[in-house]
Chain A
């Protein structure tokens, strides 16, 4: 595949993730959509890294993965704490920070 094809694939994956974040109300599926978006960005980073023959893009992917792992751990802990307090993962019902 050409570099454009990889970039289009990455863009499409990112948009699918965006739609998931914006439309779904289940907090866990929203998290999965965020992972989808991070992974799509990683794909374009690796594409440019392979295209330019420079490993810096792949090292950036390594750091993005570390941050994604940290984000997943903390995010799921927040989901558990919220579920313990409100017995729901529906984001429409979690509005305690709403002014």
Chain B
């Protein structure tokens, strides 16, 4: 097994383990820190897929901006007494977990056993399509209109967040 393969399996394992830890930890701060680990391993997985631009954006936007926002809100709300938020094991939750695992089995069946014939391709050929130059060119020519709309979405989100978090809602 080559170094790259070993590395990507390691990243995959950490990705899955940290995802499970995010969902199971009771303390939101610890869950947020595991989510940071999860996002970093995902950036590593993007690198193994030769998507450098997406990997950098992943670290900048998620680990840099969104997680800081999460941690700020957790600490702003000062969720001291976690006893009140004790998660009870109920039949509803067991059914939810059962349905989700059923969905996972279906997905595994689709990916693994159904033998869907993917068109010819290779995972290693994308070395030049993941660069900032290539994606930038595509983004500012072919996908210019969606790119502009993205700016409007972000503006609306900023205005909405400010209005929602304001002290008085009148």
A interface residues (Cβ-Cβ under 8 A, vs B): 1-9, 11-20, 22-26, 28-29, 31-33, 35-36, 39-40, 42-43, 46-47, 49-56, 58-59, 61-63, 65-74, 76-81, 83, 88-90
Contacts and interface: CB of A to CB of B under 8 A. Distances in A.
Contacts of A56: 138
A36 B31 CA distance: 12
A1 B9 contact: yes
B49 A50 contact: yes
A18 B98 CA distance: 11
Interface in B150-170: 150, 153-154, 156-158, 160-162, 164-165, 169
Interface size class of B (residues with CB under 8 A): 35 or more
Given A11-B104, A32-B22, A51-B121, A39 B42 contact: yes
Contacts of B157: 69-71, 73-74
Contacts, number: 224
B23 A80 contact: no
Contact of A50 (B50, B53, B73, B84): B50
Residue with the highest number of chain A CB atoms closer than 10 Å, among B25, B31, B54, B156: B54
B11 to A, nearest CB: 9
A39 B58 CA distance: 9
A8 B111 contact: yes
Given A16-B22, A47-B49, 14 more contacts: A1-B8, A13-B16, A36-B38, A39-B42, A42-B42, A46-B51, A50-B130, A51-B121, A58-B54, A59-B135, A69-B65, A73-B157, A74-B157, A83-B77
Nearest to B34: A32
Interface string B88-118: 0000010011001101100110011000001
Given A16-B20, A35-B66, A49 B5 contact: no
A49 B77 contact: no
A60 to B, nearest CB: 9
